[in-house]
């Protein structure tokens, strides 16, 4: 059992707004008229399409093969026909397109044959491969592939289940814990065995007493060291590093992960997906999503991956004054560029925003370095310094002030009395730095290739010269050795040393050879005598052979 | 008098020998300034600066033969960095050397390609694959967009395609405050 709780610095307490949707049980969302399944579920990795338009697929059938180290498989969320493989807008702040498989459901929702995976009898690699094939990624929002996280780091002592759900409005994990606590803990037990941890800690914010109660009841039936720990509700307690700090007191330094310190953290939704994948053999094809905000019927829905958002919204009934929709929470989420974007594995919440619920921010004022942001920052950074440097595009300095430790939680922007959109500046600076690094590595590669090409050209030139010289020497040797063809009337190869000019010597030798052949042919055709031939060759000789070496008769 | 002279000569000889030895022992290979300039240049190897590659241009800048505003792919930012490094005044890109364009990569129309290998020979970074009388193609991630392959093509089947933004290369924009129209 856990002795006492620790705390992280900073943090804020925004209005939780959980009550709107926390009371409504998870219901399966009706089948949409079509599903747009992006092969790229996160910016990190993509999958390769393995189906063709017109092909019939069953629920859970693989449609995308994992590509690369961070790739995971993508599956058909329901049975139906693949109607298109094309580019569609992705649920991403950029509003850019990505390759998607469009499936028209047949309404039967028929599963492909699947069987539980015997993870205890399989090797660790096989089990990790299974998670990858089932498309299991972190469902907390970051969609980091779980097989990589499980496979990383040896000697992990503690597995933490993240049920904090600290962002306002979102209640999908809360409902999942209330309704499927036993499944979550079964998945957690599998994860614990796979990573070889001893203890299992479930961190839940104390504003979810029902979830804590349900998880505790389920935990009492579980074997091993399981404890459900209420943590103080303080945003961002659900941040990985923050939750690890609160539960274990371990502070993960810059550039390190929990795995380096014997702690690994998974979202409760991920644990549930792991249970479905291993215990039932079902790949990840749906997730729980909260529809809330400025709507008539806020609630939690079990939604198929690939369901277009505009087909989900009628379930909640957005009110007339809704002006935009946020995906994710109000702190870290983004406004949807379009409404036909599909739900992806990392989508946990859609908030319908209205000017009365989310009033437009007052005009930005100059920073007076009051330091409020530094007090609120859970990563213990100095946001105002980062702001100055990012704003001035002084990226080197921003990195010196540990810009990349920023988790973009938005606490600084929330408390800023000058209403500066601080996180926007950090995001801008981060993506600029990444772009520069990409350019730099491309330039380094180009330089290397250019230098190698020059070296190769030089080498080829040398090799060619050497080959030519060798050939010339060879031919001369042959000519000197071989008995003069066509009788006595062969013109001598001109006396040019191969060292001087191998090419010239080679040409001269070839000419001499051709002449000898010609002479021989002539003697055969016309039946002229040897003497005549000699005369002929003598007449031919001057332009080729030096005149002071008359051909011998 | 003589002692003083001898002492001074002795010191001069010893110091001279030490300096001479140091000059040989600690000789700097290459010009470090050239390396620094070369690191700023974009390595497209396009030759628009009128030098055969980025390194020769870097050498010319270091020697003072070339100006810092002759590199169109490096653009304004490249010129600023060079100006910073060399302590010179910023000047706009020289027009005779070209204009700054968005990054593009070469694209070979494979239907038209006759397999003449001229573009392969022109490519400074070996980013085109193919063989005589075989179709050629550009290895997109390696292409620097130098356009050197466009001119030699006898059938004009190479075009420059601008690189489109993907989710992975997309950048957050600089935050700007929207100015609302006065009501």
From residue A265, alpha-carbon distances to A144, A146, A161, A205, A415 in Å are 12, 10, 6, 15, 28
Q: What sign has the CA pseudo-torsion A424, A91, A348, A125? A: negative
Residue A340 has which token pair? Answer: 């036909």
For position B83, what pLDDT does the model report? 92
* CA–CA distance, A348 with A327 (Å, rounded to integer): 8
For position B164, what pLDDT does the model report? 86
Which residue among A434, A439, A453 sits closest to B126, beta carbon to beta carbon?
A453
Rounded to 5°, angle at Cα A396 from A391 and A402:
85
The chain B residue lying nearest A439, using CA atoms, is B42
For position B116, what pLDDT does the model report? 92
Chain position carrying tokens 């959980």? A18
Among residues A34, A31, A27, A81, the alpha carbon closest in space to that of A57 is found at A81
Q: Strands A62-66 and A47-49, how do they pair? A: antiparallel
Which residue among A96, A425, A434 sits closest to B165, beta carbon to beta carbon?
A96
User: With contact defined as beta carbons under 8 Å apart, do A244 and A138 qualify?
Assistant: no
Chain A nearest C-alpha distance from B116 (Å): 19
How much is the mean pLDDT over chain B? Answer: 89
User: With contact defined as beta carbons under 8 Å apart, do A287 and A344 qualify?
Assistant: no
pLDDT digits (tens, 9 = 90+) for A101-151: 999 999 999 999 999 999 888 888 899 999 999 999 999 878 899 999 888
Question: Under an 8 A CB cutoff, do B167 and A90 touch?
Answer: yes
The chain A residue lying nearest B120, using CA atoms, is A453
* CA–CA distance, A327 with A44 (Å, rounded to integer): 18
The chain B residue lying nearest A444, using CA atoms, is B43
Residue A364 in contact with partner chain B when CB distance is under 8 A: yes
For position A3, what pLDDT does the model report? 65
Mean pLDDT of A68-97: 92
Chain A nearest C-alpha distance from B58 (Å): 13
User: Which stretch of DSSP H or E encloses residue A454?
Assistant: helix A422-481
Residue A519 has which token pair? Answer: 């002479």
Confidence of residue B181 (pLDDT cuts 50, 70, 90): low
Mean pLDDT of B104-130: 91
| Local structure of residue B66 (DSSP, 8 states) | S
Mean pLDDT of B157-173: 89
**CB-CB neighbors (< 8 A) of B171 in chain A:** 428, 431-432, 434-435
Backbone angles phi, psi at B137, to 5 degrees: -150, 155
For position A516, what pLDDT does the model report? 84
Which residue among A92, A438, A446 sits closest to B167, beta carbon to beta carbon?
A92
| Local structure of residue B101 (DSSP, 8 states) | -
Chain A nearest C-alpha distance from B31 (Å): 17
**CB-CB neighbors (< 8 A) of B169 in chain A:** 435, 438
Between the CA atoms of A268, A274, A279 and A282, what dihedral angle is there, to the nearest 10 degrees? Answer: 120
* CA–CA distance, A464 with A470 (Å, rounded to integer): 10
- The count of CB pairs under 8 A between chains A and B is 68
| 3-class DSSP state of A248 | helix
Question: Under an 8 A CB cutoff, do B38 and A442 touch?
Answer: no
* CA–CA distance, B177 with B162 (Å, rounded to integer): 30
* CA–CA distance, A25 with A15 (Å, rounded to integer): 22
For position A309, what pLDDT does the model report? 94
Among residues A22, A12, A14, A13, the alpha carbon closest in space to that of A292 is found at A22
Backbone angles phi, psi at A545, to 5 degrees: -95, 150
Mean pLDDT of A375-396: 93
* CA–CA distance, A114 with A266 (Å, rounded to integer): 25
Considering only A34-38, A421-425, A537-541, which range has the smallest mean pLDDT? A537-541
Chain A nearest C-alpha distance from B72 (Å): 15
Chosen from A435, A446, A451 to mutate, greatest number of chain B CBs within 10 A: A446
Chain B nearest C-alpha distance from A43 (Å): 6
Rounded to 5°, angle at Cα A238 from A236 and A243:
100
Which residue among A98, A430, A446 sits closest to B144, beta carbon to beta carbon?
A446
Alpha helices per DSSP H over A249-363: 268-279, 309-316
* CA–CA distance, B27 with B29 (Å, rounded to integer): 6
Residue A40 in contact with partner chain B when CB distance is under 8 A: yes
pLDDT(A366) > 80: yes
Mean pLDDT of B40-57: 90
Chain B nearest C-alpha distance from A183 (Å): 35
Q: What percent of chain A has pLDDT over 90?
A: 66
pLDDT digits (tens, 9 = 90+) for A425-442: 999 999 999 999 999 999
Which residue among A431, A434, A449 sits closest to B125, beta carbon to beta carbon?
A449
B80 CB burial (10 A radius; 0-12, 13-18, 19+): middle
Chain B interface with A: residues with Cβ < 8 Å:
38, 41-45, 53-55, 124-127, 142, 144, 165-175, 177
For position A523, what pLDDT does the model report? 66
How much is the mean pLDDT over chain A? Answer: 87
For position A502, what pLDDT does the model report? 64
From residue A427, alpha-carbon distances to A245, A362, A433 in Å are 25, 21, 10
**Distance, C-alpha A135 to centroid of its chain:** 14
**CB-CB neighbors (< 8 A) of A435 in chain B:** 169, 171
Question: Under an 8 A CB cutoff, do B125 and A421 touch?
Answer: no
* CA–CA distance, A272 with B174 (Å, rounded to integer): 39
Tell me the CA end-to-end span of chain A in Å, nearest whole number. Answer: 115
Task: Identify the residue with better confidence: B32 or A293.
Answer: A293
**CB-CB neighbors (< 8 A) of B174 in chain A:** 428
Which residue among A431, A442, A453 sits closest to B124, beta carbon to beta carbon?
A453
Report, in angstroms and rounded to the nearest whole number, the Rg of chain B calculated over CA atoms: 26
For position A64, what pLDDT does the model report? 93
Q: Strands A199-205 and A158-163, how do they pair? A: parallel
How many other CB atoms are there within 10 angstroms of residue A335's CB atom?
Answer: 14
User: With contact defined as beta carbons under 8 Å apart, do A285 and A344 qualify?
Assistant: no
Confidence of residue B177 (pLDDT cuts 50, 70, 90): low
For position A526, what pLDDT does the model report? 52
Considering only A188-192, A533-537, B85-89, which range has the smallest mean pLDDT? A533-537
* CA–CA distance, A351 with A330 (Å, rounded to integer): 8
**CB-CB neighbors (< 8 A) of A40 in chain B:** 167
pLDDT(A42) > 90: no
Residue A448 has which token pair? Answer: 């290397």
Residue A68 in contact with partner chain B when CB distance is under 8 A: no
Residue A450 in contact with partner chain B when CB distance is under 8 A: yes
For position A501, what pLDDT does the model report? 66
**CB-CB neighbors (< 8 A) of B43 in chain A:** 442-444, 446-447, 450
User: With contact defined as beta carbons under 8 Å apart, do A160 and A266 qualify?
Assistant: yes
pLDDT(A392) > 80: yes
* CA–CA distance, A228 with A246 (Å, rounded to integer): 13
* CA–CA distance, A268 with A160 (Å, rounded to integer): 9
**CB-CB neighbors (< 8 A) of B47 in chain A:** none
Ranked by mean pLDDT, the top range of A233-237, A481-485, B14-18, B152-156 is B14-18
Q: What percent of chain B has pLDDT over 90?
A: 44
Among residues A155, A153, A131, the alpha carbon closest in space to that of A144 is found at A131
Return the biggest CA–CA distance within chain A: 122
B14 CB burial (10 A radius; 0-12, 13-18, 19+): exposed
**CB-CB neighbors (< 8 A) of A98 in chain B:** 167
| 3-class DSSP state of A228 | strand
User: With contact defined as beta carbons under 8 Å apart, do A250 and A263 qualify?
Assistant: yes
Which residue among B45, B55, B167 sits closest to A43, beta carbon to beta carbon?
B167
Chain position carrying tokens 């929207």? B178
Among residues B173, B181, B180, the alpha carbon closest in space to that of A334 is found at B173
pLDDT digits (tens, 9 = 90+) for A152-168: 767 889 999 999 999 99
* CA–CA distance, A297 with A316 (Å, rounded to integer): 5
Chosen from A95, A392, A443, A461 to mutate, greatest number of chain B CBs within 10 A: A443
pLDDT digits (tens, 9 = 90+) for A200-249: 999 999 999 999 999 999 999 887 889 999 999 999 999 999 999 999 99
pLDDT(A455) > 90: yes
ipTM surpassing 0.90: no
User: With contact defined as beta carbons under 8 Å apart, do A443 and B43 qualify?
Assistant: yes
pLDDT(A7) > 70: yes
Tell me the CA end-to-end span of chain B in Å, nearest whole number. Answer: 97
* CA–CA distance, A286 with A301 (Å, rounded to integer): 10
Q: For residue A537, give every residue at least 6 positions away whose Cβ sits within 8 Å of its Cβ, in sequence order, or none.
A: A489, A490, A491, A515, A519, A551
Among residues A447, A99, A504, the alpha carbon closest in space to that of B126 is found at A447
Confidence of residue A459 (pLDDT cuts 50, 70, 90): very high
* CA–CA distance, A11 with A147 (Å, rounded to integer): 31
């Amino acid at each position: 059992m856990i002795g006492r709780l620790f705390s992280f610095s900073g943090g804020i307490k925004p209005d939780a707004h959980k009550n709107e949707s926390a009371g409504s049980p998870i219901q399966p969302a009706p089948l949409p008229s079509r599903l747009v399944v992006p092969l790229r579920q996160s910016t990190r990795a993509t999958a390769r399409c393995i189906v063709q338009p017109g092909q019939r697929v069953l629920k859970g059938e693989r449609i995308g093969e994992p590509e690369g180290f961070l790739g995971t498989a993508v599956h058909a969320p329901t049975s139906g026909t693949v109607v298109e493989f094309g580019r569609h807008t992705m649920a991403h702040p950029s509003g850019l397109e990505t390759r998607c498989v469009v499936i028209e459901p047949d309404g039967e929702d028929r599963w492909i044959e699947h069987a539980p995976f015997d993870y205890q009898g399989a090797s660790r690699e096989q089990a990790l491969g299974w998670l990858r094939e089932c498309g299991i990624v972190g469902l907390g929002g970051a969609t980091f592939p779980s097989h990589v996280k499980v496979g990383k780091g040896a000697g992990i002592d503690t597995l933490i289940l993240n049920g904090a759900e600290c962002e306002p409005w979102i209640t999908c994990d809360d409902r999942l814990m209330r309704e499927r606590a036993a499944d979550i803990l079964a998945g957690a037990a599998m994860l614990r065995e796979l990573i070889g941890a001893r203890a299992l800690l479930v961190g839940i914010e104390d504003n979810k007493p029902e979830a804590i109660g349900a998880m505790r009841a389920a935990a009492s039936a579980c074997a091993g060291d399981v404890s459900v720990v209420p943590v103080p509700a303080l945003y961002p307690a659900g941040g990985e590093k923050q939750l690890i700090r609160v539960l274990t007191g371990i502070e993960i330094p810059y550039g390190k992960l929990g795995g380096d310190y014997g702690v690994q953290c998974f979202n409760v939704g991920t644990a549930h997906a792991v249970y479905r994948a291993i215990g039932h053999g079902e790949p990840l094809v749906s997730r729980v999503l909260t529809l809330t905000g400025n709507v008539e019927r806020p609630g939690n829905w079990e939604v198929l991956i690939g369901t277009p958002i505009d087909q989900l919204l009628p379930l909640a009934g957005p009110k007339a004054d809704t002006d935009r929709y946020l995906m994710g929470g109000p702190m870290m989420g983004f406004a949807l560029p379009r409404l036909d974007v599909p739900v992806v594995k990392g989508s946990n919440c859609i908030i319908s925003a209205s000017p009365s619920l989310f009033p437009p921010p007052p005009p930005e004022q100059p920073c007076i370095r009051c330091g409020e942001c530094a007090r609120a920052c859970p990563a213990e950074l100095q946001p105002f310094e980062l702001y100055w440097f990012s704003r001035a595009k002084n990226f080197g300095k921003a990195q010196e002030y540990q810009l990349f430790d920023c988790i973009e939680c938005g606490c600084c922007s929330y408390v800023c009395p000058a209403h500066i959109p601080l996180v926007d500046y950090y995001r801008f600076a981060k993506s600029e730095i990444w772009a520069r690094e990409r350019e730099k590595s491309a330039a380094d590669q180009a330089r290397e290739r250019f230098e190698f090409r020059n070296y190769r050209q030089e080498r080829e030139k040398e090799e060619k010269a050497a080959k030519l010289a060798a050939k010339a020497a060879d031919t001369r040797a042959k000519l000197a050795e071989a008995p003069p063809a066509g009788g006595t009337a062969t013109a001598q190869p001109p006396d040019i040393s191969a060292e001087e000019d191998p090419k010239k010597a080679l040409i001269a030798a070839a000419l001499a050879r051709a002449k000898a052949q010609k002479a021989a042919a002539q003697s055969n055709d016309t039946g002229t005598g040897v003497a005549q031939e000699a005369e002929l060759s003598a007449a031919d000789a001057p332009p080729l052979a030096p005149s002071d070496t008359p051909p011998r008769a | 008098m003589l002692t003083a002279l001898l002492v001074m000569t002795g010191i001069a000889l010893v110091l001279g020998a030490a300096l001479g030895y140091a000059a040989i022992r600690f000789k700097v290979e290459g010009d470090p300034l050239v390396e620094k300039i070369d690191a700023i240049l974009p390595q497209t190897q396009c030759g628009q600066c009128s030098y055969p590659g980025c390194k020769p241009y870097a050498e010319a800048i270091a020697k003072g033969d070339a100006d810092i505003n002759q590199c169109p792919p490096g653009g304004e930012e490249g010129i600023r960095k060079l100006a910073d490094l060399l302590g010179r005044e910023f000047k706009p890109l020289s027009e005779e050397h070209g204009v700054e364009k968005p990054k593009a990569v070469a694209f070979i129309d494979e239907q038209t390609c006759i397999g003449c290998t001229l573009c392969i020979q022109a490519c400074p970074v070996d980013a085109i694959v193919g063989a005589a009388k075989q179709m050629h193609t550009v290895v997109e991630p390696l292409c620097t967009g130098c356009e050197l392959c466009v001119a030699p093509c006898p059938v004009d089947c190479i075009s420059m395609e601008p690189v489109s933004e993907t989710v992975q290369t997309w950048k957050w924009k600089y935050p700007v405050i929207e100015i609302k129209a006065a009501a």
